[in-house]
Amino acid sequence: MSKDSSKAPKGGSVPIPKMNRGVKGFYRDVVREMKHVNWPTRKETTRLTGVVLGVCGLIIVYLFAASKAFETIIGIVLGGGN
C-alpha cells in the first residue's frame, strides 16, 4: 500500500477540507463570489416579481375554489344540504 491510500476516506464518506482561514477569510471569499454573480436588472426583477405574485394569486383562487367545492360535496354527501 502506498502512503496516500492511508488518507483515503473510509466507508464512502467525503473528505472535508481543512478550513484554517477563519472568519476573515470566509467573508473575503463571500465578497469575491458575490462579484461573480450575474444580478438581474431592475426591469427583470420587476417582471419576475409580477410573475411570482400572479402565480400566487392563481394558486389562492384555485385552492379557495377547491375548498368550496369539497365543502359543498361533503355537505351533500353527509346530508347537510348547502
In a domain, residue 5? The reply is no
On whether residue 63 sits in a domain, the answer given is: yes
Residue 6 is placed in which grid cell?
Answer: 492511508
What pLDDT, in 10s, does the model give residues 29-48? 889 999 999 999 999 999 99
45-70 pLDDT tens trace: 999 999 999 999 999 999 999 999 99
Query: pTM of whole model > 0.75?
Result: no
In a domain, 49, yes or no: yes
Q: How many structural domains are present in the chain?
A: 1
- Full domain range(s) for residue 60: 21-77
